[in-house]
Amino acid sequence: MPTVELRFAALNGHVRTARMIATAVSRRAGVPAGAADEIKLAVTEACARAVRVNRRHAPQSPVLVALIDAPESFTITVADRGRTGDEVAPGPDGGLVTASALLDLEPESVVDPPWWSQPAAGGPDAQDDPDEDTAGLPSGLGLALIEGLVDEVEISRGPDGVGTVVAMTWHTDLSAVPPKPVR
């Protein structure tokens, strides 16, 4: 059973609330201080994505967050009710793509990656859509960031076949940390 469960309407303003609660609960759970910033960012990205996905496909459905404090780990799951796999960019190993691979920015590249010239950037006189803040950044960047922040991340279909569940785990017993895979 989750230690703390949170259900909120799919509104951007509530993402901060989720962040504050996750931070407070992780602190109580004894997560190493260094991981606190990672948890804040990861839960924000997961919730912001869930809000976008729900707003697109199931605006009346809430986002469900569960914070699970286990003896040797701290897990946060974020579940949406949108189209399964929306805003999930898979990596070559079946996991998530890394943020740097997704953005594909090379140091001396002559050619900009395709997203760089996406119209969302607009010309200088382009009419901007206030809901479009991505500046052409590829969708899936939020989860790709998470890939670089958590010890384990698992993406699955919602329990009843609807939506996506993002499960993020940090090890709180540092002696139990498996070696990080080399990328």
**Footprint (CB under 8 A) of other proteins, residues 1-60:** 12-13, 15-16, 19, 37, 40-41, 44-45, 48, 51
Under rule CB under 8 A, which residues in 82-121 are in contact with other proteins?
98-100, 103-107, 116, 120-121
Give kind and range of the element (H or E) at residue 143. helix 141-147
- Using an 8 Å Cβ cutoff, are 165 and 78 in contact? yes
124 to 163, contacts with other proteins by CB under 8 A?
124, 128, 130, 133-137, 141-142, 145, 148-149
- Residue (34 or 159) nearer to other proteins, CB: 34
Q: Report how far residue 82's alpha carbon sits from residue 166's, in angstroms, rounded to the nearest whole number.
A: 13
Q: Which long-range contacts (CB under 8 A, 24 or more apart) does 153-161 make?
A: 153/95, 153/96, 155/85, 155/88, 155/96, 157/84, 158/79, 158/80, 158/81, 158/84, 161/84
Q: Which residue, 21 or 103, is less far from other proteins as judged by CB?
A: 103
Please report which residue ranges of 11-132 form alpha helices under DSSP H. 13-28, 33-57, 99-103
Block residue for tokens 């009843």: 160
* Number of residues counted as binding other proteins (CB under 8 A): 38
179 counts as binding other proteins under rule CB under 8 A: no
For other proteins, the binding residues (CB under 8 A) are 12-13, 15-16, 19, 37, 40-41, 44-45, 48, 51, 98-100, 103-107, 116, 120-124, 128, 130, 133-137, 141-142, 145, 148-149
